[in-house]
Amino acid sequence: MKVTIENKKGLNKDLKVFIDKKTISTYMNDKYEEISKTVVLKGFRPGKIPKEVLKRQFGKVIFNEVLDKVLKDTSAKALDENKIKPAGQPKIDLKKFGEDQDLEYIISVTELPKVEIKSIENIKFDEYNIKIETSETDKRIKEIAKNQKNFKEVSNDIKSSEGYLVIFDYKATIDGKDFQGGQGKNTQLELGKDLFIKGFDKQLIGVKKNGEKIVDIILPSNYPQKELANKKAKFNCKITAVKKPEETKIDDEFAKNLGAKDLNDLKILISKQINDEYKNSLDILSKNQILKELEKFKVDEIPKNLVEQEMKILSQGMKNDEIEKNKKEFEETAKKRIKIGLILNEFGEQNKIKVEEEEMQVEIQKQLRMMPGQEKMVMEYYQKNPSAAASLRGSIYEDKIIKLIKNKAKANKKDITKKEAEKILKAENEKNVKKKTQFINKEDRKVKKATSSKKPALVEKAKSSAIKTKNIKKVSKK
């Protein structure tokens, strides 16, 4: 194989590849030998079919398969030997080819630019360590205990009150007649919650165990049997138990019911849970600081084909006139994204960062736990959508790179309380809201300027343009 570089223009290169016919013949003979073992032809024993016969029967098909393989093998080798990392899929233009001929073709490729990352250790970012005070942990545990109500059965002479749990059987009628869904066993109602039929549980205040109570109620308008909606029903309730709420005792037993070893272990787990709630958001702020610093790094040239691809993603679903109007903004956003991606990728390659299959499975399992009951659907989504799996792999890859950059860069470590964390996140949110408001006001001024024009036909056009531009802005900031 002979490779020469032609028409070198910036990141664009043309590689001329020449492969002699002897090499092509070797590939062809190997293929003929391979298929001779499996092809069945009348009059010939398996593996004993002459090459000339195979050539007459399958020559064109075999040559096309061989040509695809040769192009795949040699083009990859040509790029590798010339240390060219392609930005996107290279184009191949066949110049000369045939079974008994030399092969000659041109690889047109856009090369990834050289990226300077030597100063990565000079990046500065804030790294937050949240100190969760004991009082915060205790407060959260008390809130959990409050929602984990215990009820203890009272004696037969005690009447139910608001907050009590009443268990009863019932049979309901409308105009003295039974109806579908008008019977129930062991129905439980916490009085005061009003979770059954509106106004129902209030009528059970004051009942005792083994007592009976007639509850008159209007069936709701959204009752499953539409013909019964808004009808007056009589529920004959037989009270089987009355239970009084008891304050949940916060002890080792309580902790074990929540999956902890003991109360002390529960406090550790809850403290970590509170920490994670804030740390995840603060880590995003740290990541954004790092990405902002990476924007200052030098990249000689951004590949145009990658910019065009990114612009298509940013403008997906928009009309041609909208795309044209916001072309400059899309281009700037696309270049910024690609630049960051190139820097991160270069750092990842230099540090041999890879995403293992186990890491993919761990991340998918996390998502499965977040969507109980829909595990099969989520799993099938990743199995049937290679682009979704690739996107997930990309996210894991980026997170691993950011983690390594953090280890090498200069962290400004800050120990903060939960309240301070809340303050930082609130300030960041307000800053983002302010930016959004400023943009909206800017677009509104465009509309007002248009409405002052003497051409009424332009008014609605300007309003429409401003609204659509707002939507574009939101997309471009993702």
What are the extents of the domains in the chain?
2-110, 149-246
pTM for the structure as a whole: 0.61
Of 80-84, 98-102, 429-433, highest mean pLDDT: 80-84
pLDDT, position 437: 66
Kindly compute the dihedral angle of the four CA atoms of residues 91, 96, 102, 103, in this order, to the nearest 10 degrees.
10
How far is residue 43's CA from residue 414's CA, in Å, rounded to a whole number? 84
Task: Give 466 or 247, the one with higher predicted confidence.
Answer: 247
Report residue 478's pLDDT band, with 50, 70 and 90 as the boundaries.
very low
In angstroms, rounded to a whole number, what is the distance separating the alpha carbons of residues 335 and 270?
43
Separation of CA 347 from chain center = 24
Rounded to whole angstroms, the Cα distance separating 34 from 62 reads 11
CATH of 149-246, one of 3.10.50.40, 3.30.70.20, 1.20.1630.10, 3.40.190.10: 3.10.50.40
- Alpha-carbon torsion 404, 406, 408, 413, what sign? negative
Which superfamily, per CATH, for 2-110? Answer: Trigger factor ribosome-binding domain (3.30.70.1050)
**Tokens describing residue 17:** 């590849």
130 has which bridge partners?
Answer: 416
Sheet holding 12-19, edge to edge: 2-9, 12-19, 103-110, 91-96
Written as one letter, the residue type at 65 is: E
Sorted by sequence, the CB contacts under 8 Å of residue 191 that are 6+ apart come out as 160, 161, 162, 163, 164, 165, 166, 201, 202, 204, 205
| Mean pLDDT of all residues belonging to the chain | 85
Say if residue 466's pLDDT is above 50.
no
pLDDT tens readout for residues 119-157: 888 999 999 999 999 999 999 999 998 887 889 999 999
Higher-confidence position of 446 and 430: 430
Alpha helix ranges (H) inside 216-303: 252-257, 263-294
In sequence order, what E strands does 39-176 have?
A: 91-96, 103-110, 124-131, 150-153, 165-174
Question: Could you check whether 2-110 and 149-246 share the same CATH topology?
Answer: no
| % of the chain surpassing 90 pLDDT | 48
pLDDT-based confidence at 164, cuts 50/70/90?
very high
Q: What is the mean pLDDT of residues 72-97?
A: 91
Q: Check pLDDT > 50 for residue 468.
A: no
* Residue 43's pLDDT band (cuts 50, 70, 90): low
Q: What is the pLDDT of residue 109?
A: 92
Task: Select the more confidently predicted residue: 335 or 39.
Answer: 335
Q: Rounded to 10 degrees, what is the CA torsion of 283, 288, 293, 298?
A: 120
How many CB atoms are closer than 10 A to CB 425?
15
